[in-house]
A and B are shown apart, each in its own frame.
Chain A
Amino acid sequence: MNRPSIPDISLLRLIAIARKETYQIFRDPSTLLVAFVLPVVMLFLFAYAVSLDTRNVRIGVVLESDGEAAQSLAAAFSGSRYFSVTPARDRREIEPAIVAGKLRGYVVIPQDFTNRLQRGRTDALVQIVTDGTQPNTATFVANYANGVIGNWIATRNLAATPAAIAVQPRFWFNPEMESRRALIPGALSIVMTIIGTLLTALVVAREWERGTMEGIFSTPATVLEILLGKLLPYFCLGLIATGVGAMLAVWVFGVPLRGSVFTLLLLASIFLIPALGQGLLISTLARNQFVAAQLALLSGFLPAFMLSGFLFEISSMPKVIQFITIIVPARYFNAGLQTVFLAGDVWSLLLPSLGALLLIGLVFFVVVLRKMRKTLEV
C-alpha cells in the first residue's frame, strides 16, 4: 500500500490545472471580451479619443472696434490653428454660447483698442474671457490667446525692439509632443491591471462560489500547484495582451518603441507578479464574485487609472496621496513602459521600478500563501 513519495511540485498537475483554466478562458465570451476586445478598444480610445493636444478650440472674437488694427488682430485669431473662431459684435451674443458650452472662451477687442494702440499702450489692450468650468481648456485658451496677441504685436511693431528674452523649447523623447505617445503606454498598464487583478480575482472567487475548489483540494495537487496553475494562463494572457497592444501601438498608432521587445516583455512579466498576486489576495479574502469585483475595482483598476501618474502628475498630488501611490504597482509599470517606449532600455530607470514591483508582488504572495491553506476552514 505504500507508494513512492511524490515531490511537492508536479509539472503534470500544474499543466493540467493551467490547461483547464485555459479552456475556461476560451469558453466564456466575457473573459475573451475583457482580454482581447477591451485592450484594443482602450488603445484606440487613448489614441484618438483622449487627446491632450488641444487644437481648434472654439472661441468667440468680439470686435467692438472697427479700426484696421482691430480687424487685423481678429484676422490673426481666425488664422490661428489653435482656434476656431465665431465672430461677434457684442459680447452679449457670445455669452449664452459660453454658458451652453458651445464656446470655450472669447476675446474682446474693445472700442478704444485703436486709440490705445496709437498712444503706445499695450497693457490690457484686449480682454480674454475663458470658461473656467474646464480649467484645462481655460488655461489653454488664455495661454494661446496671449500668444496670438504677442505675435500680432510683434509683427505690427517691426521697428520696436524684439522681446528681450525668447524661449526655445525642446521636447525630448517626444519632439512633436503628441500626448498619444505618452498615453498609450499608460493605457497598456490599465489593461494589464484589468487582466491581472480583476480577472484573477473573479475566477478564483468563482471556484469558491461554485464549490469546484473542494474537488480540486481533495486531489494530490498542492496549494502552490493550484495557484500557479491558475495564474499561468492569465500570466500568458497578460503577456499576449501586452504584445498585441505593443504591436498596435507601434504599427497602428505610431508610438516609437525605443527599447527592446525583450525589455518590454520582461517589464510586463514582472508587473504581472504583483497584479496577479493582488487578484489572488482579493479572491482569498472575498470568496464571492460581487465583493471581489468591487474590491478589484477599488484597489486595482481605479488606482491604476487615477494614481499611476499616467494622466495626473503624482508630484502635484497632496503628500498623503503621493504616499498611497507608492503601493500602486501600476505606477511603476507605467513609468517603466514610458521609459521603454520613449527613452529605451535605460536600466538605471527600469531597475528601481522592477525592484519595487517584485517587492510588492512578494508581499502579496507571502500573504496569499499564509492565508490559503488546503482546507475549507475560514
Chain B
Amino acid sequence: MDSATSPSIRIDGVVKRFPGVVALAGISAEILPGRLTGLVGPDGAGKTTLMRLMTGLLRPDEGSIDVLGRNTVRNQGEIAHLAGYMPQRFGLYEDLSVMENLQLYADLRALPPAQRRATFGRLLEFTKLGPFTARLAGKLSGGMKQKLGLACALMARPDVLLLDEPGVGVDPVSRQDLWRMVSELTGEGMAVVWSTAYLDEAEQCASVLLLNEGKLEFSGKPAELTHRLQGRSFRVVEPEGDRRRLLAQALDLPSISDGVIQGRSVRLVARAGEPIDAARPLAEAVNARIEPVAPRFEDAFVDLLGGGPGGSSVIADLMEPVDLASDTAVSCSNLTRRFGDFTATDRVTFDVRQGEIFGLLGPNGAGKSTTFKMLCGLLKPSEGSAHVVGLDLARAASAAKNQLGYMAQKFSLYGLLSVRQNLEFSAGVYGLAGAEKKGRIDEMIDAFELGRFLDAAPNDLSLGYKQRLALACSLMHRPPVLFLDEPTSGVDPITRREFWTHINGLVRKGVTVMVTTHFMDEAEYCDRVALMYRAKLIALDTPDALKRQVARHDDHEPTMEDAFIGLIERIDAEEAVR
C-alpha cells in the first residue's frame, strides 16, 4: 500500500439523520495522509457528527466511511487501534491525575512498557504539562485540559488523528503549542483532521472541508476559497473617532457583507459584484483612506455563508442610555485570592471607566478567571476589595449584583425550562414584575428573534441562539455593567460578529463591558486590555499601545496575538535572568 497517494479516510455519500433533523446530507470527501485537514463550518453544520462517524461511534444511515481501508461499521475494532480521537467534551477523568490519565490511555492503547518513558517524556514536554503530572485533571485550566486530551489521543502514534475542536478555550500561547505538536505529526505522515470554529486555524490547514447545514460547501486548499474574494477586501485605515461606530455604520451598508475591527483600522468585505466605493463617504467623514488588502479565509467563509450580520443592534437601540454618577464603573484594589498556599490572584489593581470595553486576557491558569469571579461577586477576595458602580461587593452584595449582568462560558441556561421560562426567570430574579417584566421580555424576544423558539428547550437550540438567549437573560434588568466570561468560546464567526454587534451597540449607550476572551481579534474590540500572567497584572493599556510595546521597529505591525505572546515571553525572560 502506498500511503503517500491513497487517502487515509474515504467518505462516500454519507447521510446521517437524527430524529427531526438531517445532520449530514450526502457528504463525499477524501482525507489524505501527511497533511492537516481542517473541518470548518458554523455551529450545527454537522462537524461533530462527521467526526463521530469517522471513529465508528455513530453509524451512517446511508453511504460509508473507510478509515485506512477499513469500514467504520464492520471494522470499528480495527479502526480504534489505528486512529486517535479527541472528543469535543474532553474524555478525561477529572478525578484522575494527569499521569493517571496518561497511563490509562497508554494501557488502553497497549503502549509497550519499554516505550512508555520516552513517550510520556515527549508528550509532557510537548504539552508542557511536566510540572503538573500529579494534579487532578479537573483542577487543570481549560487549555491544559485540551493539551492533556491531545496527549491522550496521541498516545499510540496513530495513523489517523481526529481532533474535535481542540482549540476551544485555549489561550494563544497554548494554541501555538498545539499547532506545533500537530504539524510535527503530519510531517511524520499522519493524517490529521482538526475541526474548528477558528478560521485563522483553518487558514493554516493544508486543506479544508467546509460544512454548512449538513452539506459540503467547499473542499480543497483554503487559499482556493480565499482567492474567490480577490479584490473585495479592503480596510479603512486609521479613522478618527470611534472605530466601533464606524464599523456599525459600514455594516449597515447593503453593499458591505462583512467587517471587523483590526488594530487601528476597520476591515471590510464588499458583497460580490459591489464596488468598494460604497464605503468611501463613510471613510472620508472620519478622514481615513481606503486601501485594498489581501482576502483572508475568514472573509471567504463568512461570504460563502451569506455574509455577516448588520451593524445595528435592536436591543442596544432599545436600551436607555446609562449615566452613572461616578466615572468609574468597576474598580478593584490589591485584589488577592489564595487557595491554600497557592495564590491565584496577586494584588491586582485597576479601574474600569464607564462605557468602555475592558478586556481581561491571559494564558490559561494565569488567574484571570479567579479575578473575574471576584469582580462579579462569585468569590470573596482574601485581601483587597472590589467595587461595582461604587458598591462594595463584600458589604452591599445584593445591591451591587443588581447593577451587573453576567454571561458565562457555558451560558448557564436551565435546560429543563423552555426559552420563555428562562427569560421569565431572569426577569424575576432581578426583581422585574408585571407590565415592566412583560415589556422587557417582549423586547428581548423581538431583539434577539427568539419568537420561534419560545417553547423549545435551550439545549435544542443551536449554539448561536443559545448565546442570544443567554445574552438576553443577562441584559433583562438593563445592567450598567456587563460581565462576559469567554462569551464566544467555540462559537462560529458569524454568531460571534452578531454578538459583538450587540456589545458595541450597548457600549455606545454607556454600558460598561468587562470581558475575558481567547480570541485575539476580539481583544481588538476592547478599549483597554489587562494582561494577566502568573497571578499578576503584567500590562494594562489600549490594544494599540500593547502592540507597540512589542514592535521591533517602526514599520513592524504586530498583531494582538504577537503582543500577547511577546509580553509573556518578556516576563519569562526577566524571570530567567533573575
Cα distance A46–B57 when bound, in Å? 48
Measured CB to CB, the nearest residue on chain A to B1 is: A1
Report A177-235 residues with CB < 8 Å from chain B CB.
210-222
The answer to whether B110 and A1 have CB atoms under 8 Å apart is no
The answer to whether B108 and A13 have CB atoms under 8 Å apart is yes
Residues of the B chain whose Cβ atoms lie less than 8 Å from the Cβ of A376: 52, 57-58
**Interface magnitude class on chain B:** 35 or more
Report B39-98 residues with CB < 8 Å from chain A CB.
52, 55-59, 68, 76-77, 80-87, 89-96
The answer to whether A218 and B89 have CB atoms under 8 Å apart is no
Cα distance A377–B52 when bound, in Å? 10
Q: Does A12 contact B (CB under 8 A)?
A: yes
**Interface magnitude class on chain A:** 20 to 34
Known A-B contacts A13-B108, A15-B107; the reply to A23 vs B96 at CB < 8 A is yes
Q: Which of A12, A16, A215, A221 contacts B87, CB < 8 Å?
A: A215
The answer to whether A3 and B81 have CB atoms under 8 Å apart is yes
Residues of the B chain whose Cβ atoms lie less than 8 Å from the Cβ of A28: 95
The answer to whether B104 and A375 have CB atoms under 8 Å apart is no
Contact with B along A1-19 (1 / 0, CB 8 A): 1010010001011011101
Q: Which of A6, A17, A20, A210 contacts B100, CB < 8 Å?
A: A20
Residues of the A chain whose Cβ atoms lie less than 8 Å from the Cβ of B57: 214, 217-218, 374-376
Q: Does A121 contact B (CB under 8 A)?
A: no
The answer to whether B110 and A216 have CB atoms under 8 Å apart is no
Report A18-75 residues with CB < 8 Å from chain B CB.
19-20, 23-24, 27-28
Residues of the A chain whose Cβ atoms lie less than 8 Å from the Cβ of B95: 23-24, 27-28
Q: Does B109 contact A (CB under 8 A)?
A: yes
Q: How far is the CB of A20 from chain B (nearest CB, A)?
A: 5
Residues of the A chain whose Cβ atoms lie less than 8 Å from the Cβ of B105: 219
Report B82-138 residues with CB < 8 Å from chain A CB.
82-87, 89-96, 100, 103-110, 136
Residues of the A chain whose Cβ atoms lie less than 8 Å from the Cβ of B107: 12-13, 15-16, 19
The answer to whether A218 and B87 have CB atoms under 8 Å apart is yes
Residues of the A chain whose Cβ atoms lie less than 8 Å from the Cβ of B76: 374
Residues of the B chain whose Cβ atoms lie less than 8 Å from the Cβ of A13: 107-108, 110
Q: How far is the CB of B105 from chain A (nearest CB, A)?
A: 7
Q: How far is the CB of A342 from chain B (nearest CB, A)?
A: 42
Residue among A15, A24, A376 with most chain B CB within 10 A: A376
Residues of the A chain whose Cβ atoms lie less than 8 Å from the Cβ of B93: 20, 23-24, 212
Known A-B contacts A220-B110, A374-B57, A377-B59; the reply to A214 vs B68 at CB < 8 A is no
Cα distance A346–B326 when bound, in Å? 87
Cα distance A28–B136 when bound, in Å? 12
Q: Does B176 contact A (CB under 8 A)?
A: no
The answer to whether A10 and B110 have CB atoms under 8 Å apart is yes
Residues of the A chain whose Cβ atoms lie less than 8 Å from the Cβ of B83: 218
Q: How far is the CB of B152 from chain A (nearest CB, A)?
A: 7
Q: What 19 new A-B contacts, CB under 8 Å, besides A212-B92, A220-B108?
A: A1-B82, A12-B110, A16-B106, A17-B108, A19-B104, A24-B95, A27-B95, A211-B89, A213-B91, A214-B89, A214-B91, A218-B84, A219-B108, A219-B109, A220-B80, A220-B81, A222-B77, A374-B56, A377-B59
Selected A-B contacts with CB under 8 Å, 20 pairs? A1-B159, A6-B81, A10-B110, A16-B103, A17-B104, A23-B96, A210-B89, A211-B89, A212-B93, A213-B91, A215-B85, A215-B91, A215-B149, A218-B80, A220-B108, A220-B110, A221-B80, A375-B57, A375-B59, A376-B58
Closest 7 CB pairs of A and B: A215-B91, A16-B107, A211-B89, A218-B85, A219-B108, A220-B80, A214-B87
